[in-house]
Amino acid sequence: MSELKTELARQLVQRFGERVMAIAELDGEVTLEVAGRHLIEVARALRDEREFAFEQLMDLCGVDYASYGLSEWEDSDEATHTGYSRGVEGKGPGRFRWGEVHFAAFARRFASVVHLLSMTHNRRLRLRVFVEDEPLPVVPSLVDIWAGANWFEREAFDLFGIVYEGHPDLRRLLTDYGFVGHPFRKDFPLIGNVEVRYDPEKRRVIYQPVSIEPRVLVPRVVRDDSRYLQGRAELDASKAS
């Protein structure tokens, strides 16, 4: 572990010792990573102990690290000048139908991230937990420690499929009752899985397989102010015609 710069980071390492799986500092903000089995113990200490006093949970979200650090974009000098697919290979996460996954499985894919605020000490902390079982990502619920985590955990469950064990009412929050899958996962198709339409014969809304094809819509690549050269060329062409 590199030399810790902030007092909070040093306090966390001294207090939690081997429970600290990783700690990072960027722009004065500290990220503490712990295992799921230690989350409740660490979270309660962060709230109750005077040296930390993180009274308020500001946010909680899920993260899918599949394809993290990878890019499907071509170098701008090599991209073509025309067509909607210029500059991109179109094989990134979500640009496919079910069964056409284009990225390898990541050892640590899903994480639950909590943003805490200490009004007593006027400082913030990011608390992160990676799930240990990717097919069924389970993380202990923090509702009993910070009641405000309730709807945040429901949202993360809905969008990422992370199950918060001990949550009093874990069900979907943003998607429809019949929605299939979790739309913020990287392997969820950008075109979706099903679509709905009104059937005049059945006189009701019905679900059916999605009918549109995946497309890559990318703005034109700009190189070294070439937009001015192109504009001048187009103006000259229009004058010549």
If one compares 26 and 44, the residue with the highest pLDDT of the two is: 44
pTM: 0.77
Q: In the chain, where are the structural domains located? A: 1-66+109-171, 67-104+175-241
Quick one: tokens of 234? 């187009």
Decide if pLDDT at 157 tops 80: yes
The alpha carbon of residue 135 and the mean position of all alpha carbons in its chain are separated, in whole angstroms, by 17
If one compares 72 and 179, the residue with the highest pLDDT of the two is: 179
DSSP 57-107: EEEEEEEE-TTTT---BPPTTTS-SSSTTTTB-S-STTSS-TT---SPPPS
For residue 176, what pLDDT is reported? 81
Please give the class, per CATH, of domain 1-66+109-171.
alpha beta
d(CA 118, CA 20): 20
| 90-118 pLDDT tens trace | 566 666 554 455 555 567 899 999 999 99
For residue 95, what pLDDT is reported? 62
CA-closest candidate to residue 115, choices 127, 105, 104, 103: 127
For residue 98, what pLDDT is reported? 47
CA distances to 39, 116, 144 from 169, in Å: 20, 23, 13
The 10 Å Cβ neighbour count of residue 209 is 9
